[in-house]
Amino acid sequence: MRDFTGKTAAITGAGGGMGLALATAMLEAGASTLLMDIKPRPQELDIFGERALYIQTDLADFGAVQAAFDTAHAAFGRLDYLANVAGVLWFGRDCGATEIDLDIWDQVMTINLKTMVHTVKCAVPLMAASGGGAMVHISTLQFLRGDTHPQDAYQASKAGVCALSRSLAIQHAHQGIRSNTVLPGVTWTPLQSRWEGDDKTQELVAQAVPLQRMGTAADIANACMFLLSDDASYITGVDLPVDGGLLVKPVA
């Protein structure tokens, strides 16, 4: 297990799914954490006591985000890592660009991309003051390909996450701050609740993956832990697919 004792991380989307999996893993590895989500605090975090500072907040509100970081810095005195995990995938409402309601487009862009700007603006000065650090941002494998059943706002916003991450990697390398993204493939999280109880669909999806299974929130958390850790100290500006081999699967 990697040891993050004495380090502090800020993690968005910590109320469930990938964010909660990463939060739990970081806490188990000894880190203190600022955990943010619009959802209520999960009971699973209670065992970690004061090291799990959970603030229920709207990440689209920059003032609220700044206040959360200020509270965490007062409590922990430093910031070493930022993980932007929060995001939405709105099946049915998010569709092709020619059909989508523009209010839905704006909401998805705000939640998936603009909130990343909010957290980065707060986190980077604190990481620089701590002597450096690392950021990881959740994008998606889907932005690399088209889709006959599109979620164009989702794909475009997640492409923006990767573009911004690369720019941050160059901008802040001189401060010892790294920035990378993780590209999940088909991963079982609450975002995929449409498959709940549909064993046949889950089986068909798993069969389409070269490793013959869907990913888990823990798979994504493990990749994030690696990119945040000193084991990845010479890695910045990359997009890491965690997809069971989907990206390199030959066309039948």
Band of pLDDT at residue 191, cut at 50, 70 and 90: low
Q: In sequence order, which residues have a C-beta less than 8 Å from that of residue 247 and are 6 or more positions away? A: 141, 144, 185, 241
End-to-end alpha carbon distance in the chain: 39
Give residue 73's pLDDT.
Answer: 98
Band of pLDDT at residue 201, cut at 50, 70 and 90: confident
192 pLDDT higher than 70: no
| Residue 9: closest CA among 120, 135, 161, 170 | 135
Residue 124, CA distances (Å) to 79, 163, 166, 246 in order: 9, 17, 15, 33
Positive or negative, the Cα torsion across 35, 25, 229, 77? positive
- Secondary structure of residue 117 in the 3-state scheme: helix
The whole-angstrom separation of Cα 10 and Cα 54 is: 10
Task: Sketch out the chain's domains with CATH numbers.
Answer: 8-240 (3.40.50.720)
Residue 30, CA distances (Å) to 3, 11, 85, 158, 195 in order: 6, 15, 20, 30, 35
Band of pLDDT at residue 145, cut at 50, 70 and 90: confident
Give residue 180's pLDDT.
Answer: 98
Average pLDDT, rounded, for the chain: 94
Give residue 194's pLDDT.
Answer: 57
pLDDT in tens, 1-28: 799 999 999 999 999 999 999 999 999 9
Bridge partners, residue 239, by sequence: 181
Region 218-237: what's the mean pLDDT?
98
pLDDT in tens, 117-141: 999 999 999 999 999 999 999 999 9
Q: Which residues are catalytic?
A: 154
More confident residue, 16 or 147: 16
Specify the DSSP element, H or E, that contains 222: helix 217-228
Q: Dihedral, CA atoms, 182, 64, 17, 104, nearest 10 degrees?
A: -80
Give residue 251's pLDDT.
Answer: 75
198 pLDDT higher than 70: no
